[in-house]
Amino acid sequence: MTTDLASTPQVNLNPADATERVNTDVYQVKTSEFRYASDEYMAKADPGAPRPLQWHIEWLGLSFRFDNQEDPSQPPTIQRSLNVTDKNGATAFWGTKDPEPGPKDSYPLQLSKYFAKLGLVLGSDPSVINGMTFVCENKTLQAGAGTPVNVLVPIARFEGPFTGELRIVKTKQGQAQSGNGTGPAAAPAISDDQAWAALAGAMDGKNVSELVNVALQTAEVAQTPSVLGVVAGGKGRPELEKLGSVDDAGVFTKAAS
C-alpha cells in the first residue's frame, strides 16, 4: 500500500496560529432589564446576604430548538443574570477604561463592553437592546478573584429574520428542559449531582491540585454555576471525596459505579 504524498493536506501545527473554537447561535433579546434576584437565588445565598440587583436578559434562541420542546415551532428562552450590586449592596461596576472586556472589569461591565463594541452603549437603560438580534457566543467570564460565570456575549449584529436551518440540541434522557438555561447557550439545565458525577469522572487518576482547571474544562461543570462556585472557592475536595477517594499523594480515584 502506498501513500500519495501529493494529496496529503498541509496542517499547520503552530499553536500561535490556532483558531479558537466558538459556540455561536443567533439570539433575539426578549427582555433586558434590572431586577432583584429571585427567591430561588436567595435560597442558595449566605444567610443575611442582601438581595442583589441583577442585569437580567431573556434571550430567544432563533437558530436552534431543543429536541424535547413541547412546541418546537417556538424559540426556546435562555435566561442569564449578572449581579450589578455586590454582597455589601454596593454597585459592582468597577473596571478599566479599556474598550476590550477583561478580568480587571466587573462582570456587568465586561458584558456591557461587548455590546459597546457593536456600537450599543446601554448606559442606565439596559432595555435599549430589547428586540435586537445578535450572533452570540457562549463564554465563561472571569472577574478578579470572583467565581467564573457563563454568559452569552454578542459578537455581531444580525439583521433580518433568521431563515437558516434549525440546529436540534439533544437533551439528556429523562432530563426536562425548562427553557431557562443556567449553563452555556443551547444546553439543557444540568443538576448539581450530574455535574459532580461528571467532574469525578474527569478527575479520575488526576491530582486534586488540578481540580479547578479540570472543572473549567468539564462541560457539565461549566454549565452549573453552583458547582463551579464551590470548586473555585476552594471547597470542592470534600464534595469530590463523596464520589471517590484521595490517596496520600493527592490523586483522586473515582468510586466504582
For residue 91, give the DSSP letter: B
Q: Which residues contact 238 (CB under 8 A, 6 or more apart)?
A: none
Each of the 257 residues of the chain gets a pLDDT tens digit; together they read 555 555 677 778 888 887 665 578 899 999 999 999 988 888 888 888 899 999 999 999 999 998 888 888 999 999 999 999 988 889 988 999 999 999 999 999 999 999 999 999 998 899 999 999 999 998 899 998 888 998 999 999 998 888 888 888 877 543 333 332 333 333 445 678 888 998 999 999 999 888 877 877 777 776 676 777 677 667 889 989 999 999 999 999 999 86
Considering only CA atoms, which of 44, 254, 25, 239 is closest in space to residue 136? 25
Write the CA distances from 145 to 43, 141, 232, integer angstroms: 23, 11, 9
Q: What is the pLDDT of residues 22-79, one digit of tens each?
A: 578 899 999 999 999 988 888 888 888 899 999 999 999 999 998 888 888 999 999 9
- Take residue 105 and report the three cell numbers written for it: 472589569
Coil, helix or strand at residue 239: helix
For residue 218, give the DSSP letter: -
What is the CA 235 to chain-centroid distance, rounded? 20
Put simply, whether the predicted model's pTM sits higher than 0.95 gets the answer no
Angle subtended at Cα 81 by Cα 171 and Cα 42, rounded to the nearest 5 degrees: 95
